[in-house]
Chains A and B, each alone.
Chain A
Amino acid sequence: MAGLFMIELKGIRKAFNQGKHNEYWALDGIDLTIPAQQVTALKGPSGSGKTTLLTILGCLARPTEGRVRLKGEDISGLPERFLTEIRRKTFGFIFQQFNLVRGLSAIENIILPAYPEGQPRKDLLEKAEALLAGVNLGHRRDAKVEWLSGGEQQRVAICRALINDPAILIADEPTANLDTKLSKEFLGILEKLAGQGRTIILTSHDPLVVESSVVDRVVTLRDGRIVDQT
């Protein structure tokens, strides 16, 4: 069971501004299973709820209704502290805007998620250097992140997502800010990560991503519901 499904969602609904005049149900009854060690892509028109679904899958937000199981364990009712720990140990995030901390160097950004674990700094730096080398960015180790190009920033963000060696990677619109060449490079990295046996969930409008051979499953959303799964 645990080996089969990484994440299971049952009857997920998510409301914004609940109880107010502008109440809005961004997700409206989602049943979804995310298989382990596969690449799942969420697609759908703008506003269909892809990002919202991703925040629930990645334990960044709690659903208004419904159950979330992670490796078979129900985590819907856990308090924020535990969710934070799960996030840190199980998930790596690659945000659409990369969300690097400005003013810090590439390597310092990469080791940030590991601070709460209290590993010695030396070990962390070694690990981060290896990750940077893996995405051909070793020479930009000490560059401030605001001086990096979009593609380089994304690769730093990928390294940061990997520093705690998470089982699941979450990426929101990973190619939205990249040109075709860089998008293809990203897919190359994605393939490598999938090959390492990681579970990957991403959202995308981009046919290049959704139709790529790296993606194992495509889930289509519309108005907060799943309309198609392949």
Chain B
Amino acid sequence: MSVSAPILRRRANQAALYLSVCTLVLIMLIPIGWMLSTSFKPLRDVFQTPPQWIPDEITFKNYVAQFNEVLGTLMLNSMIVAVGAAVLATFVGAMTAYGISRFRFKGGALLMLFFMGSLAFPVPLLMISLYSLFVKLGLLNTYAALILGHTAVTIPVSIWLLKNFFDQLPREVEEAAYVDGASPLKVFLFVVLPMARPALAASAIFVFVVSWNELLFGLTFTSTTDMRPLPAGITLVFLQEFEGAWSEMMALAVMVSIPVLILFFFFQKTFLRGVTAGAVKG
């Protein structure tokens, strides 16, 4: 059987593509693999030379040690903050994006550029101004400070994602709702938001993950363990109290990644649909 030249060329291209994608994925997996490997090692084996991927001795002690009251508190804090930020950034983002997409006004495009540009702000800079703001508002060491902070850094992405989605949503359905007697707010709440579910889910997942992993704000805006979110908590606990307990730290890191994995496992289709909605037309 002979294969024509164009088909061969296409296959070669495909092979090259797969090869580069695989390489990239592999590179990204190395730290995750090392985290997993370390989390099952006894502490004395962590720095053994030569390094070993498969531990000589596999232990679950590192995991068992994590089930304590502090972990519960940190988890709960992170959950409250991440869910709060996801809901707030997505809802406010949706209103902003819808307004810009539907109600034509001068400066809409400029505003979108501004949102995009705000992503280039160095986070520490943002942190300082937010800090002084929260001091004045008396919000330091509250969930609200973290929720607002995480909303501030994620909402530009949320707005862009949702505006892309609204731009390609047919207007006629909304117009039908206006004719049916709905006010603009009701159209938004009862017609637009339900239709935007994939994009809303994508935005919420994005914000959740960013918030869940965020360290700097968590460290600076909170001062007591009962308010601290996971990343900040882990850092402080392990760097101060149990200095150098690497294998336990890695075990905790594995456990903390699990909610994010579960989230993606259940919502990956919705997430992709929401993210790519603006890109694939008709």
Please indicate whether A and B come from the same complex rather than being unrelated chains. Answer: no
Chain B residues with CB under 8 Å of chain A are none
